[in-house]
Chain A
Amino acid sequence: MTIKVKVRNAETGSTVDMEMENENTMSEIVQGAAGYWKKEAGAYVLRRGKKLLRGSQTVLEVGLKDDDEVELIPDPEGGYRAPPF
């Protein structure tokens, strides 16, 4: 079954409508939206309300429904020294 979910870019307020299947994972949603906005997918987490949507969870497992809104939240890192490359 295909559902349509709104993904919000918290850093701009812009949104995309995304069609997905029950088997799609949260990682795929993050990658799709981050790619669209030219962002690094690994730097973001996804939330619906107060819940963290983990990368390996599927649409079915988290119970996403038609017209739900999820939000891409940045996961920043600050530091005095550079991490070892």
Chain B
Amino acid sequence: MSQPVIVGDHVAEVKELPPPDRRRIKAHKWLTEKRMEDYRGRESKGFELYISKLAEEKIRNHALEHAFERKEVMGLLLGGMYRHNGLEYALVRDVATTDLDATDVSVRFDPRAFEKLFASLEEVGFRYVIVGWYHSHPSYHCFMSSTDVQTQRLMFNLRGHSAIVIDPINKEIEAFYLEEGKVRSRPFAIYWDEYQSPYYGTPVRMRDVGPSEGDLGAGA
């Protein structure tokens, strides 16, 4: 019996797409002072990582849900890789997770729960690329442990891939990536689609206050 043979391949293109408008991005409120400085330094150039408000809320809520049991949580970042004006960036539109095999110092998908993960991948509603992963460090701050770095090297070793680490106890979040085998911090922005704006659809009517004194004067 012979082994399976590769008879063709198709390399996915990085599509040209402008990043989220600057009026629709914000720094994460859990950035440390140092990471906030990085954010400000990057704001005018554009970011290499944008996370939707929806994905950010899911990550934060997932981490908070298990914070007081001190259990780590984990999931996959779903989105796509794009390019604009020569800058490549990843857009995280949603996340997916499943039941976990977790302690306060380790986390993996429960091997019995892969089909639950796959069901959420099927239901995500767009042709995703897994642009990275997230996990929590409940109470011990944001950094990449040797286990985390090993995961990054094995699975998420492209420049565009990111690892988000969140500490729900200290209220910190940070994104990391690998560059020439070294772990680097990656400034990122939270974006929202127009319909996700809390004020979207709220009409703002100009109040009719009648002509001002100046207007009267001009007409006189």
Contact = CB atoms under 8 A, between A and B. Distances in A.
A39 B131 CA distance: 16
Interface residues of B, number: 50
B135 interface: yes
A78 B130 contact: no
Contact of B106 (A20, A29, A51, A80): A80
Contacts of A61: none
Contacts of A52: 114-115, 118
B8 interface: yes
A17 B3 contact: no
A17 to B, nearest CB: 4
Given A52-B118, A79-B147, A80-B140, A74 B4 contact: no
Interface in B161-199: 161
A18 B7 contact: yes
B118 A12 contact: no
B4 A11 contact: no
Contact of B12 (A12, A40, A45, A50): A12
B87 interface: no
Contacts of A76: 74, 76, 108-109, 133, 135, 151, 155-156
B7 A17 contact: yes
Interface string A5-44: 0000011111111111101100011001100100110011
A83 interface: yes
Most central of B4, B11, B114, B135 by chain A CB within 10 Å: B4
21 contacts: A10-B130, A11-B156, A13-B81, A14-B9, A16-B10, A17-B8, A21-B1, A21-B2, A24-B1, A36-B9, A43-B154, A50-B122, A52-B118, A74-B76, A76-B74, A76-B133, A78-B135, A78-B148, A79-B107, A81-B145, A82-B145
Interface of B: 1-12, 72, 74, 76, 80-81, 104-109, 114-115, 117-119, 121-122, 127-131, 133, 135, 137, 140, 145-148, 150-151, 154-156, 158, 161
7 nearest A-B pairs in the assembled complex, by CB-CB distance: A13-B12, A78-B135, A79-B106, A79-B147, A82-B146, A17-B8, A80-B105
Interface of A: 4, 10-21, 23-24, 28-29, 32-33, 36, 39-40, 43-45, 47, 49-52, 73-83
